Amino acid sequence: MVFSSLLFLCIFFPAVLILYHLCPFLKGKNAILLLASLVFYAWGEPKWIVVMLLTTFIDYLAGVVIGKAKSNGVRKLALALSVVVTLGFLVVFKYLNFFTANLNLILPFDIPETNLVLPIGISFYTFQALSYVIDVYRKDVDYQKNYFNLLLYVSMFPQLIAGPIVRYVDVANEIAFRKVHFTDFSDGITKFLIGLTKKAVFANFVGKLAENYLAGDMESLTLLGAWIGIVAYFFQIYFDFSGYSDMAIGIGRMLGFNFRENFNYPYVSLSITDFWRRWHMSLSSFFRDYVYIPLGGNRRFQLRNMFVVWLLTGFWHGASWNFVLWGLYYFVMLMLEKYVYGKALEKLPKIFRHIYSIFIVIIGWVFFYFEDMSSMGKMFGTMFGINDFALYSPADITTLTNNIFLLGICVIAVTPFMKNISSGVYRRLEKTPNGVIVNGVMTFAFQAAVLVLCAACLVGSTYNPFLYFRF
């Protein structure tokens, strides 16, 4: 089930909220949430839910052993075993097909392919489970004594299928004790609805525009068309992904959990280094804490460490060469910034730094979008005028004109502009005599209007993709 479906919105979600908040004690709430999460997952993945239960069980056992064992050898062994098994599931389900397919290209004989289908969200929950075991090993957090509590952490439905990757440390206390205030709940609604709007309105509309150009035949693509397409995709992926994260964080708030932000306006970055501090922060910090620093960080072999991290980051997004290319592209860009022109860049006026960052990111999405290398080549050829192409067609101009509002709103919505305005107004009003009431009414009106808007878009949409089935 995905958040942006009517079934989730009108059946599952209200049912869970009502049961959850009517239940007077925490154990009951946890049980309801766990059960709801398992139903949520099984709805989309009825078979492979077993993998999630098993992974969590193994990591639960490992946590107990590591937590109780006195000898360092035993602790290390338990950690190693659980990491191997947990990652093993990920490798088998996500990468085995890719490896065999590529080996079969080289080898004189054929290894039979397994054709396993990737279970939804496996990349997210595997990383959550891993972070738990490693944190217990590092003594950053106490081990969880109750399997079901750990399962609740791994499977909690808000972040289960599209992130953010929540750390056990961050929610361990809330699993044991939490309280939801109505103000939290209301803030959660706003956050959820902002996320839903990003997904159901912005991402879906602009995504259709992107598909119109990028998923069509590459031979009728003009230079302008190629750029419209990739810019539309640039917006789509941000609104879609950050929308999911916002919904997850919002639902978390409504249930009494405080997840960290996952996106911090990445498209206003001043450099690529800056971009990766703002984009999918839970993933980059995961790689920083569990790969980069253990490898030696910037103390030794920094270049190697960076290479490994970006290779893995790319590969994490999907078992396909284009994602590897995408990761390595960012490795190169980050190294260039670090060692070649980073200092010079900082001296430039801000506007150039924004343009530079956006340009590099847009080029990056070409690697990300085209899994098929020949289409990717054609796309680059058309974008930079190498192919036999037309500059633009009248139809492109009309399409651009028709979508000018959509694109304009997108430009505004990727910046903190709206947020700054609304929170500025909110704070000002709060100090005036009747401001609290005005604020309350406005918030309420905003929520109601946005809910109707999103519902209409969901009912009317023929295009509502789930982009993360490859993750």
Partner 1 sequence: MDRERRIYKKLFAVLSSLFFVVILAFFGVISFLDVDATVSESENRKLAEKPEFSFSALFGGTYTQDFENYYSDTFPMREEFMQLSNKITSFLTRFGGKEDNVIISYDKQDSDFVGEGVELTTEKSENENETENQETEKVTEKATKKPEKTTKKKTEDKGSVKGSILISGKRALEIFTGSASMSKSYASLVNKTASSMPGNVKFYNMLVPTAAEFYSGETYSSGVHSQKNIIKSSYSQMNKNIVTVDAYSRLEKETKEYIYFRTDHHWTARGAYLGYLAFCEASGNEPVPIDELETGKIKDFVGSLYNASNADVLKKNPDYVEYFKTRVDVDAQVYSDSRMQNGQKVFVVARAVNSDNKYLAFIGGDQPLERIVTSNKNGKKILVIKESYGNALVPFLCDNYEEVYVVDPRKTNFDLSSFVENQSIGEVLMINYAFAMSNETYKNALISMLK
Active site residues per annotation: 317
101 binds partner 1 (CB under 8 A): no
Closest C-alpha among 194, 354, 203 to residue 269: 354
* Amino acid present at 153: Y
Place of tokens 């789509």: 236
Site for partner 1 in 434-453 (CB under 8 A): 436-437, 439-441, 443-444, 447-448, 451-453
Query: To which H or E segment does residue 85 belong?
Result: helix 72-90
Site for partner 1 in 372-401 (CB under 8 A): 387-390, 393-395, 398-399, 401
Site string for partner 1, 33-72 (x = CB under 8 A): ----------xxxxx-------------------------
DSSP 162-212: T-----HHHHHHHHHS----HHHHHHHHHHHHHHHHIIIIIIHHHHHHHHH
Helix (H) or strand (E) holding 422: helix 417-431
In the chain, DSSP finds a helix count (H) and a strand count (E) of: 25, 0
Q: Is 205 in the site for partner 1 (CB under 8 A)?
A: yes
Instruction: Please list every residue from 215 through 254 that binds partner 1, using CB under 8 A.
Output: 215-217, 219-222, 225
One residue of 201, 248, 251, 306 binding partner 1 per CB under 8 A: 201
Could you tell me if 307 and 331 are in contact, meaning their C-beta atoms sit under 8 angstroms apart? yes
Nearer to partner 1 (CB atom), residue 62 or residue 209: 209
Q: Is 469 exposed, middle or buried (0-12, 13-18, 19+ CB in 10 A)?
A: middle
Candidates 94, 198, 208, 317; binder of partner 1 (CB under 8 A) is: 208
Euclidean distance between the first and the last CA atom of the chain, given in angstroms as a whole number? 16
Min dist CB 169 to partner 1, Å, is 29
Interacting span for partner 1 (CB under 8 A) from 61-69, 93-101, 203-211, 336-344: 203-211
| Whole-number Å distance between alpha carbons of 314 and 143 | 31
Looking at residues 160 to 199 of the shown chain, list those that interact with partner 1 (rule: CB under 8 A). 181-183, 185-186, 189
Choose the binding region for partner 1 from 58-66, 214-222, 296-304, 360-368 (rule: CB under 8 A): 214-222
Q: Residue 202 corresponds to which tokens in the numbers above?
A: 């912005």
- Tokens 């050898």, residue located: 73
Q: Applying CB under 8 A, does 428 fall inside the site for partner 1?
A: no
The verdict on 457 binding partner 1 (CB under 8 A) reads yes
Q: Which is nearer to partner 1, 10 or 111 (CB)?
A: 10
Question: Pick from 270, 312, 406, 425: which binds partner 1 (CB under 8 A)?
Answer: 406
Q: Which of residues 108-147 bind partner 1 (CB under 8 A)?
A: none
> CB under 8 A: which stretch of 72-80, 206-214, 295-303, 316-324 binds partner 1?
206-214
